[in-house]
């Protein structure tokens, strides 16, 4: 009899986070409540806390970039001030969605923000390269205690992250600055 292996626990990733990343990829830049309104309009009921949880989780996984927090004055039901946190898609985002979802994403207006916001891509790349450098140092420190499978998996993960950084930021900042920031990163060779 052929036994099928089943995974225990929660599956890796989140369809909601993937949809949020696809929305951010489509609209470029947005703040949390705007993402919530878009998601709710195009994908149906979702709790606002779920959106904010997935935005936070996306930041932790570097799938989403938090790049600006701005206070805005106005006449709101809770007071006269609101804090808008602006997000953009990050280099490690997974925007692979079912065709049905991709068709829905295409119906979303490109950028509904009323003002233009500049992102300091150089600073974002610098932060992410620092994070990757730490991973490489940690890999080198743990090299002798890792199993061969562990070495291989970690090496592949680091190389994938390095390549995604190059792909993502290559078009966002000047080539010279891009190369300068990546020059100190030496991912483990396959």
Mean per-residue pLDDT pooled into runs of 10, the chain (190 residues): 61 86 90 93 94 94 88 86 90 87 87 66 83 84 84 85 82 75 67
C-alpha span between 35 and 123 (Å, rounded): 24
Strands (E), the chain: 29-31, 64-76, 79-89
Q: Tell whether 29 and 99 lie within a shared domain.
A: yes
97 within domain boundaries: yes
Whether 21 and 53 share a structural domain: yes
Q: How many domains does the chain have?
A: 2
Q: Is residue 80 part of a domain?
A: yes
CATH of the domain at 43: 1.10.10.10
Coil, helix or strand for 126? helix
Domain, as residue range, for 162 = 122-182
Do 96 and 39 belong together in one domain? yes
DSSP 89: E
pTM of the model: 0.76
Q: What is the pLDDT of residue 55?
A: 95
Residue 4 maps to a domain = no
């Amino acid at each position: 009899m052929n036994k099928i292996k089943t995974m225990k626990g929660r599956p890796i990733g989140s369809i909601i986070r993937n949809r949020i990343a696809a929305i951010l990829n489509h609209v470029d830049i947005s703040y949390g409540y705007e993402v919530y309104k878009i998601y709710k309009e195009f994908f149906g009921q979702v709790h606002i806390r779920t959106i904010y949880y997935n935005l936070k989780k996306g930041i932790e996984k570097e799938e989403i970039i938090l790049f600006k927090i701005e206070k805005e004055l106005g006449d709101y039901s809770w007071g006269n001030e609101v804090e808008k946190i602006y997000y953009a898609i990050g280099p490690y985002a997974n925007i692979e969605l079912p065709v049905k979802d991709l068709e829905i994403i295409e119906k979303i207006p490109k950028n509904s923000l009323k003002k233009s916001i500049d992102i300091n891509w150089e600073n974002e790349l610098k932060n992410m390269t620092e994070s990757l450098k730490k991973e490489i140092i940690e890999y080198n420190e743990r090299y002798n205690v890792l199993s061969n499978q562990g070495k291989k998996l970690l090496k592949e993960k680091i190389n994938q992250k390095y390549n995604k950084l190059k792909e993502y930021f290559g078009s966002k900042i000047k080539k010279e600055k891009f190369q300068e920031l990546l020059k100190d990163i030496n991912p483990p060779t396959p």
